[in-house]
């Protein structure tokens, strides 16, 4: 099979052309084939095929095209593979004519090759050219690709011509070059090669005539005179000198006179070992592709240290670039709002390269041509700092290998990565260790010894952002009498604001630096960024972002992509985004200053609705038999996450746990008391299973305070029960009893029979743990009677098991067994696997005390399967403990130790106090006995 892109896009196999569909489908194949062997991300494919404004169903169309291409290629032995969020053409690179062209040209440039080899290789490369590359495909990506490949074709033609000239075959060169110059009349390297060939074959007059025609074309179309190499050949012919077939290097200053435009390195540079190693890797691998220009796209958020890193690395490797180092600040995110035009940047470079001002062409294209001619064959390091986008950068790229370019930008420069093959390096916040190194190097090692806690607090308040750390370090250095702890206190008192990070200069004022990125956003992206300051939690998923601004998910995705490209948010997982604390503080300032109080309240209400309605639906899947609560309908514009099974519910809660706990506090601060207690209710099922009892206690305490302020008795009853459930697991049994007795009173006032029953059930559990077994039985029986009166079948079965457990604790194992065995078929009928697990545990406990150890072990193992199935880790540990006890009674010490070890592992992970008692069992230390099983409150 062969895939051809150096002309109309075609696939050939077994000597015949394969039908690959309409132009857009062929464009998809080309967009993947040009990166053969490497995955191309779906977003990049959409950008290559449809450009910046794809249709709404572009992704769907892409998948259809790929499915059809897979079928067409499969018949020819080719494979399109889904890989790493994109698609990969699984084929040898030489099966694509573009890559074969590049391979041949790279071999021709190998200095170990003879001129005969060089001529043959470059000629074979040129024969692969069948016309206009991607000739049947339109769009910006195709246009940019064609332009880059044309430069490679010119390189191959010049390489072939120079080799033939050195071999003495000047006459063979004239015809092909004349035809090629008709296509590229302004390509000076071709003109130079043709003039040398004409002169060497005895046609000096034609050579001079061609110079005159070329000079006139350059002046008329570009406003520029011929470059130095063309002028040198012209002068040589006029003098009648000996023809030199070898290409004469442009007269660029070298050695002490070479340009050295790098800004000073920053003293106290710290960290970034990974990124420095990646930059070194690019430099070391530059020779692997001798015809390609190595480019690094160094991106990151405002203040993250892109320029500092680029300049520091440039100083480290400057000696590797003997022909000079060029640097320009492109002002892509400048406070003035006016990026530096590429034509002006090139002018500065030409002046640094010793081009007299009167020789600098007027037009951008001519300047770029001269600039690239001067750098051809030279080793120059080019730093393009603070670029706005790829379009600003492209005219500043050298046209030939030997140089290396580092571009820094707040934009991700995906176009530069996709088309020019730039190596992307995304700069993240410093690690805590790197932050500490930065401060220590700027303030001295003494602070780390005398005030380590203050040092860590400063790092926390600075959110590990290098700019913020540098500002604080400067303040500390200029106030030597102020201890670091005093500076940390100032940052603490600022309460997350940005005033403490005003460096007295716009370039080092954190708020000002952030504003340069913010002002570049579209109105919709600016609105979303501001409202992110209202969002609870450090991360936000796409549906929550859509709810925040009140638009459907498809409309918010491109807005988040824009914020990501601007590095105002970062993608931390698929469909999830985050921004560091100082950017969050800046967003919060902006929304207060820009958006009305009504708009802010509506946005917060929507995002809380998103979390509440999604969490409630997920909680109902985890505990479908729990008494439901009544939610108000979500506001217009709210997007909820469709969750259809318990596994997905657990996964969603695990991902959103931090945002949900923060949402409770945010709802309380906004006086949305109903959201507060209902969110706390919805989180409880997950928190209890995963042992997040501290968080559970906090959210229910916040909820209880909120509903007490509003007099919401339903919310108070729920919050008392939820708080009791959490603090009971934390060992605060008396406090748990107090809250449950208050819940009993409130349920009676409300006439809430299921809630009343649940409170009595909880009291039974608390009292059983305090060894008041008779009183616990009375409350368990009261719960059973209330569930029966309410007609709550599942609650009745659960309470029946609770009565049985209390009988077991009182030593009546046969009555215990009878109650639990009555409960089991009811619980299976209702599908309550959680309560069924507890009932099997009760049966196992009763059998164990009746001396029927094998039956007890079988019951405990059934309970374990159910607890593991529903993700109830704490009760799994309790049952494992009981299982170990039975194995010990049965004389199986190995089995007992295995069960206790597994129980201890879970309890240690949960941080539960019962771990000490299980550890004592493993150590053979008496524990004082007594029942430890704790059911749900």
Span 739-752, pLDDT tens digits: 999 999 999 999 99
Burial of residue 131 (number of CB atoms within 10 Å: 0-12, 13-18, 19+) = exposed
Proportion of the chain in helix, strand, coil states, percent, rounded to 5: 65, 5, 30
The pLDDT, as a whole number, for residue 421 is 84
The pLDDT, as a whole number, for residue 510 is 64
Residue with tokens 């093959």: 421
d(CA 555, CA 418): 25
Over residues 273-299, the pLDDT tens digits come to 888 888 888 887 776 665 668 899 998
Over residues 363-397, the pLDDT tens digits come to 677 778 788 878 877 889 999 998 988 889 998 99
d(CA 189, CA 239): 21
- Look at the domain 1-166 and name its fold: Arc Repressor Mutant, subunit A (1.10.10)
918 contacts 900 by C-beta, under 8 angstroms: yes
Retrieve residue 622's tokens: 């985890």
pLDDT of 245 > 50? The answer is: no
Distant-in-sequence contacts of 810-818, Cβ < 8 A, 24+ apart? 810/773, 810/774, 810/777, 813/846, 813/849, 813/850, 814/846, 814/850, 816/842, 816/845, 816/846, 817/843, 817/846, 817/847, 817/850
Whole-number Cα distances in Å, 238 to 208, 242, 767: 8, 11, 111
- Closest-CA residue to 766 (of 793, 743, 790): 743
556 contacts 528 by C-beta, under 8 angstroms: yes
d(CA 81, CA 177): 42
The pLDDT, as a whole number, for residue 135 is 86
Over residues 97-111, the pLDDT tens digits come to 988 888 888 778 766
> For the structural domain made of 809-937, what CATH number should be given?
1.25.40.10
Phi, psi of 635 (to 5 degrees): -65, 160
pLDDT of 584 > 70? The answer is: yes
Burial of residue 691 (number of CB atoms within 10 Å: 0-12, 13-18, 19+) = buried
pLDDT band at 140 (very low <50, low <70, confident <90, very high): confident
d(CA 23, CA 29): 10
**Does domain 258-427 bear CATH number 3.60.140.10?**
no
pLDDT band at 539 (very low <50, low <70, confident <90, very high): confident
pLDDT of 311 > 50? The answer is: yes
CB-based contacts of 593, cutoff 8 Å, min separation 6: none
**More confident position, 560 or 490:** 560
d(CA 905, CA 664): 31
569 contacts 558 by C-beta, under 8 angstroms: no
- Indicate the DSSP class of residue 264: P
Q: Average of pLDDT values for 3-19?
A: 88
The pLDDT, as a whole number, for residue 498 is 57
Cα dihedral sign for 67, 72, 75, 77? negative
**More confident position, 419 or 814:** 814
DSSP letter for each residue of 140-197: HHHHHHHHHHHHHHHHHHHHHHHHHHHTT-HHHHHHHHHHHHHH-TT-HHHHHHHHHH
151 contacts 129 by C-beta, under 8 angstroms: no
**Cα 627 from chain centroid (whole Å):** 39
Over residues 171-213, the pLDDT tens digits come to 888 888 888 888 888 888 888 888 888 888 888 888 888 888 8
Is there a common fold for 168-246 and 712-791?
yes
d(CA 671, CA 698): 17
The pLDDT, as a whole number, for residue 617 is 95
**Cα 622 from chain centroid (whole Å):** 30
Per-domain boundaries in the chain: 1-166, 168-246, 258-427, 432-498, 712-791, 809-937
d(CA 593, CA 599): 12
Whole-number Cα distances in Å, 515 to 417, 506, 531, 595: 26, 10, 15, 16
d(CA 519, CA 522): 8
Does residue 287 come out as left (phi exceeding 0), alpha (psi in the -120 to 50 range) or beta?
alpha
Residue with tokens 């507060």: 676
pLDDT band at 484 (very low <50, low <70, confident <90, very high): confident
C-beta neighbour count of 8 within 10 angstroms: 16
The pLDDT, as a whole number, for residue 721 is 94
d(CA 480, CA 470): 15
Distant-in-sequence contacts of 598-606, Cβ < 8 A, 24+ apart? 600/531, 600/534, 601/670, 602/550, 602/635, 603/531, 603/534, 603/548, 603/549, 603/550, 604/534, 604/666, 604/670, 604/672, 605/635, 605/670, 605/672, 606/547, 606/548, 606/550, 606/634, 606/635, 606/637, 606/638
d(CA 585, CA 497): 6
Give the range among 34-43, 163-172, 293-302, 517-526 with minimum mean pLDDT.
Answer: 34-43
Over residues 882-934, the pLDDT tens digits come to 999 999 888 888 888 889 989 988 888 877 778 888 888 887 644 444 343 43
pLDDT band at 250 (very low <50, low <70, confident <90, very high): very low
**More confident position, 485 or 50:** 50
Domain at 712-791: CATH architecture:
Alpha Horseshoe (1.25)
- Closest-CA residue to 89 (of 100, 101, 77, 104): 77
User: Average per-residue pLDDT in the chain?
Assistant: 84
The pLDDT, as a whole number, for residue 870 is 83
- Indicate the DSSP class of residue 370: H
Over residues 609-622, the pLDDT tens digits come to 999 999 999 999 98
% of the chain beyond a pLDDT of 90: 32
The pLDDT, as a whole number, for residue 616 is 96
CATH entry, 168-246, from 1.25.40.10, 3.20.20.70, 1.10.10.60, 1.10.10.10: 1.25.40.10
% of the chain beyond a pLDDT of 70: 89
d(CA 760, CA 777): 10
Highest mean pLDDT among 157-161, 371-375, 752-756: 752-756
**More confident position, 26 or 937:** 26
pLDDT band at 664 (very low <50, low <70, confident <90, very high): very high
Whole-number Cα distances in Å, 465 to 581, 814, 932: 9, 66, 49
Number of helical H runs and strand E runs in the chain: 41, 14
The pLDDT, as a whole number, for residue 249 is 36
Over residues 317-346, the pLDDT tens digits come to 888 888 889 999 888 876 555 688 888 888
**More confident position, 726 or 246:** 726
Q: Average of pLDDT values for 39-54?
A: 83
Tell me the pairing of strands 381-387 and 404-409: parallel
d(CA 42, CA 32): 10
pLDDT band at 461 (very low <50, low <70, confident <90, very high): confident
**More confident position, 841 or 112:** 841
Burial of residue 362 (number of CB atoms within 10 Å: 0-12, 13-18, 19+) = exposed
Highest mean pLDDT among 414-428, 429-443, 568-582, 721-735: 721-735
The pLDDT, as a whole number, for residue 480 is 67
The pLDDT, as a whole number, for residue 935 is 37
**More confident position, 419 or 855:** 855
pLDDT of 266 > 70? The answer is: yes
Give the range among 81-85, 584-588, 624-628 with minimum mean pLDDT.
Answer: 81-85
The pLDDT, as a whole number, for residue 496 is 52
């Amino acid at each position: 099979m062969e895939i051809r892109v150096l002309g109309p896009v075609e696939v050939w196999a077994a000597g015949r052309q394969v039908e690959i569909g309409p132009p857009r489908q062929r464009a998809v194949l080309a967009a993947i084939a040009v990166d053969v062997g490497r995955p191309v991300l779906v977003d990049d494919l959409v950008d290559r095929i449809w450009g910046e404004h794809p249709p709404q169903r572009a992704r769907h169309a892409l998948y259809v095209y790929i499915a059809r291409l897979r079928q067409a290629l499969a018949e020819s032995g080719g494979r399109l593979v889904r890989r790493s969020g994109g698609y990969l053409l699984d084929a040898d690179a030489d099966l694509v004519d573009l890559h074969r062209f590049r391979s041949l040209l790279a071999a021709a440039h190998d200095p170990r090759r003879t001129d005969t080899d060089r001529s043959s290789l470059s000629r074979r490369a040129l024969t692969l050219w069948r016309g206009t590359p991607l000739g049947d495909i339109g769009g910006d990506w195709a246009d940019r690709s064609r332009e880059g490949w044309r430069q490679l074709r010119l390189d191959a033609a010049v390489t072939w011509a120079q080799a033939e000239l050195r071999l003495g075959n000047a006459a063979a060169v004239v015809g092909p070059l004349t035809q090629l110059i008709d296509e590229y009349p302004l390509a000076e390297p071709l003109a130079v090669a043709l003039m040398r060939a004409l002169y060497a074959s005895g046609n000096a007059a034609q050579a001079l005539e061609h110079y005159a025609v070329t000079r006139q074309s350059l002046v008329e179309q570009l406003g520029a005179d011929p470059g130095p190499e063309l002028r040198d050949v012209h002068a040589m012919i006029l003098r009648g000198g000996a023809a030199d077939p070898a290409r004469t290097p442009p007269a660029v200053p070298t050695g002490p006179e070479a340009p050295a435009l790098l800004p000073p390195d920053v003293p106290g540079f710290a960290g970034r070992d990974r990124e420095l190693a990646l930059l070194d890797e690019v430099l070391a691998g530059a020779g692997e592709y001798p015809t390609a220009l190595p480019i690094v796209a160094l991106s990151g958020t405002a203040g993250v240290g892109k320029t500092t890193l680029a300049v520091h690395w440039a100083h480290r490797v400057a000696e590797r670039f003997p022909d000079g180092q060029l640097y320009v600040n492109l002002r892509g995110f400048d406070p003035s709002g006016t990026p530096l035009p590429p034509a002006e940047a090139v002018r500065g470079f030409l002046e640094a390269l010793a081009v007299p001002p009167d020789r600098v062409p007027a037009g951008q294209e001519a300047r770029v041509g001269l600039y690239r001619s001067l750098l051809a064959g030279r080793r120059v390091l080019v730093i393009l700092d603070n670029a706005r986008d790829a379009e600003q950068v492209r005219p500043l790229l050298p046209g030939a290998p030997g140089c290396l370019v580092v571009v820094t930008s707040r934009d991700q420069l995906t176009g530069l990565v996709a088309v020019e093959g730039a190596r992307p390096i995304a700069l993240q916040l410093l690690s805590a260790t790197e932050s500490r190194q930065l401060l220590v190097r700027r303030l001295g090692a003494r602070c780390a010894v005398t005030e380590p806690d203050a040092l860590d607090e400063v790092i926390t308040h600075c959110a590990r952002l290098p700019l913020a750390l540098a500002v604080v370090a400067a303040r500390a250095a200029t106030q030597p009498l102020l201890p670091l702890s005093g500076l940390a206190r100032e940052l603490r008192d600022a309460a997350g604001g940005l005033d403490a990070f005003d460096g007295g200069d716009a370039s080092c004022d954190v708020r000002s630096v952030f504003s340069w990125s913010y002002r570049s956003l579209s109105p919709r992206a600016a609105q979303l960024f501001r409202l992110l300051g209202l969002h609870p939690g450090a991360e936000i998923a796409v549906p929550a972002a859509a709810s925040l601004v009140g638009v459907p998910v498809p409309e918010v995705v491109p807005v988040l992509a824009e914020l990501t490209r601007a590095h105002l948010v970062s993608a931390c997982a698929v469909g999830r985004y985050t921004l560091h604390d100082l950017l969050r503080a800046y967003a919060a300032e902006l929304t207060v200053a820009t958006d009305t109080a009504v708009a802010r309240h509506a946005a917060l209400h929507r995002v809380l609705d998103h979390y509440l309605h999604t969490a409630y639906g997920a909680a109902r899947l985890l505990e479908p038999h729990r008494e439901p609560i009544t939610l108000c309908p979500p506001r217009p514009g709210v997007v909820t996450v469709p969750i259809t099974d318990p596994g997905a519910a657990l996964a969603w809660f695990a991902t959103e746990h931090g945002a949900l706990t923060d949402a409770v506090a945010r709802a309380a601060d906004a006086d949305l008391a109903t959201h507060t207690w209902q969110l706390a209710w919805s989180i409880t099922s997950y928190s209890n299973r995963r042992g997040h009892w501290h968080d559970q206690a906090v959210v229910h305490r916040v909820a209880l305070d909120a509903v007490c302020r509003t007099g919401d008795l339903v919310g108070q009853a729920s919050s008392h029960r939820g708080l009791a459930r959490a603090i009971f697991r934390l060992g605060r049994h008396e406090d748990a009893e107090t809250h449950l007795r208050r819940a009993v009173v409130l349920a009676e006032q409300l006439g809430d029979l299921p809630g009343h029953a649940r409170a009595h059930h909880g009291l039974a559990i608390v009292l059983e743990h305090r060894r008041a077994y008779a009183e616990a039985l009375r409350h368990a029986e009261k719960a059973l009677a209330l569930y029966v009166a309410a007609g709550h079948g599942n609650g009745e079965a659960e309470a029946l098991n609770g009565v049985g457990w209390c009988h077991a604790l009182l030593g009546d194992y046969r009555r215990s067994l009878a109650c639990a065995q009555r409960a089991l078929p009811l619980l299976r009928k209702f599908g309550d696997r959680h309560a069924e697990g507890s009932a099997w545990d009760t049966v196992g406990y009763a059998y164990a005390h009746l001396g029927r150890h094998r039956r007890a072990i079988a019951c405990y193992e059934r309970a374990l399967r159910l607890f593991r199935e529903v993700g109830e880790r704490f009760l799994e540990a309790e049952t494992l403990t009981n299982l170990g006890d039975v194995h010990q009674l049965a004389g199986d010490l190995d089995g007992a130790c295995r069960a206790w070890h597994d129980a201890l592992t879970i309890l240690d992970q949960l941080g539960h106090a019962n771990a000490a008692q299980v550890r004592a069992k493993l150590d053979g230390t008496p524990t004082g006995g007594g029942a430890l099983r704790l059911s749900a409150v």
